Structure 1
Amino acid sequence: MPYTLDGKLVVAVSSRALFDFEEANQVFEAQDEAAYMAYQMARLDEPAHPGVAFPLIQKLLRFNSEEEQRVEVVILSSNDPASGLRVFRSAEKHGLHLERGVFTRGRSPFGFLEALHANLFLSAHKEDVRSALSMGFPAAQVYPGSQGNSLNHPDEIRIAFDGDAVLFSDEAERVFQKEGLPAFQQHEHDKALHPLPPGPFKTFLEALHRLQKETRQTSMRIRTALVTARSAPAHERAIRTLMNWNIQVDEAMFLGGLEKGPFLAQFEPDFFFDDQVGHCQSASQIAPTGLVVNGVVHDAR
Structure 2
Amino acid sequence: MPVSLQDQLVVAISSRALFDFEEENRLFENTDPASYLRLQRERLDVPAAPGVAFSLVKKLLAFNTEEQQRVEVVLLSRNDPVSGMRAFRSAKAHGLHSIQRGVFTQGRDPFGYLRPLGAQLFLSANADDVTQALQLGYPAAHVFTDSMRASGSHPQEVRIAFDGDAVLFSDESERVFQAEGLAAFQKHEQEKAAQPLPEGPFKPLLAALHSLQQIEVPGMRIRTALVTARSAPAHERALNTLMDWKIDVDEAMFLGGLAKGEFLREFEPDFFFDDQTSHVRNAASHVPSGHVRSGIAHHKPPIHS
* TM-score when normalising by structure 2: 0.96
The equivalent residue for 1:76 is: 76
Alignment correspondent of 2:203 = 202
1:55 equivalent in structure 2 = 55
Cα deviation code 1:136-183 (max 9, x no counterpart): 100000113111344200111100000000000000001111111111
CA distance in structure 2 between the aligned counterparts of 1:106 and 1:42, rounded to whole angstroms: 21
Q: Structure 1 residues 103 and 68, CA, compared in 2 at 3 Å: closer, same or farther? A: same
Distance in 2, Cα, partners of 1:149 & 1:241: 29
- 1:53, 1:86 → 2: CA distance? 17
Deviations 1:44-69, CA, capped at 9 Å, x for gaps = 11111111111100111111111111
Deviation sequence 1:162-205 (CA, Å, 0-9, x none): 00000000000011111111111011011111100000000000
**C-alpha separation in 1, matches of 2:210 and 2:269:** 16
What SS does the corresponding residue of 1:92 show, helix, strand or coil?
Answer: helix
**1:115 to 2:110 alignment:** no
The aligned counterpart of 2:276 is 276
Structure 2 match to 1:13: 13
Write out per-residue CA displacement over residues 199-240 of structure 1, whole angstroms, 9 at most, x where no aligned residue: 0000000000111112x2522000000000000110000000
Query: What is the distance in 1 between the residues matched to 2:217 and 2:111?
Result: 35
Partner of 2:24: 24
- Counterpart of 1:139 in structure 2 is 140
Q: Which residue of 2 aligns with 1:87?
A: 87
Structure 2, unmatched stretches of 5+, are: none
Number of the residue aligned with 1:156 = 157
For 1:200, give the aligned amino acid: P
Bigger mean CA deviation after superposition, 108-117 or 278-287: 278-287
Q: CA deviation at 1:99?
A: 0.3
The whole-number CA distance in structure 1 between the counterparts of 2:217 and 2:75 is: 29
Structure 1: unaligned runs, 5 residues or longer: none
The amino acid of 1:111's aligned partner reads: G
| 1:300 CA displacement | 5.2
1:117-149 deviation per Cα after TM superposition (whole angstroms, max 9, x unaligned): 001000000000000000110000011311134
CA distance, structure 2, for counterparts of residue 101 and residue 32 of structure 1: 24
In the superposition, the TM-score normalised over structure 1's length comes to 0.97
What is the alpha-carbon distance in structure 1 between the residues aligned to residue 35 and residue 149 of structure 2?
32
1:126 aligns with 2:131: no
How far apart, CA to CA, are the structure 2 residues paired with 1:145 and 1:29?
A: 17
CA separation of 1:142 and 1:101: change in aligned 2, threshold 3 A: same
**Does the aligned pair in 1 maintain the 2:123–2:143 contact within 8 Å?**
yes
Amino acid across the alignment from 2:156: D
Supply the RMSD in Å over aligned alpha carbons.
1.1
Which amino acid in structure 2 is aligned with residue 10 of structure 1? V
Q: Provide the C-alpha distance between the structure 2 equivalents of 1:217 and 1:128, rounded to a whole number of angstroms.
A: 34
Q: Against the structure 1 CA distance between its residues 217 and 18, is the aligned structure 2 distance closer, same or farther, given a 3 Å change threshold?
A: closer
How far does residue 272 in structure 1 lie from its aligned partner after superposition? 0.5
State the distance in 1 between where 2:82 and 2:47 align: 15
Identity of aligned residues (%): 64
Matches of 1:53 and 1:273 in 2, distance apart? 12
Mapping 1:254-273, distance limit 5 Å? 254-273=254-273
Deviations 1:76-113 (A, max 9, x none): 00111111110001111111121000001110100000
Distance of 1:27 and 1:143 partners within structure 2: 18
| Cα contact 2:17–2:145 (8 A) shared by 1 | no
Partner amino acid for 1:9? L
Q: Give the match's secondary structure for 2:148.
A: coil
Q: Which runs of 4+ in 1 moved over 3 A?
A: none
Query: For the residues of structure 2 that align with 1:154 and 1:20, how far apart are their CA atoms?
Result: 21
Q: What displacement does 1:286 show? A: 1.6
The aligned amino acid for 2:41 is: M
Deviation at residue 29 of structure 1 after TM alignment: 1.1
Give the secondary structure class of the aligned counterpart of 1:136: coil
Match in the other structure for 1:250? 250
Q: Tell me, what secondary structure is at the counterpart of 1:208?
A: helix
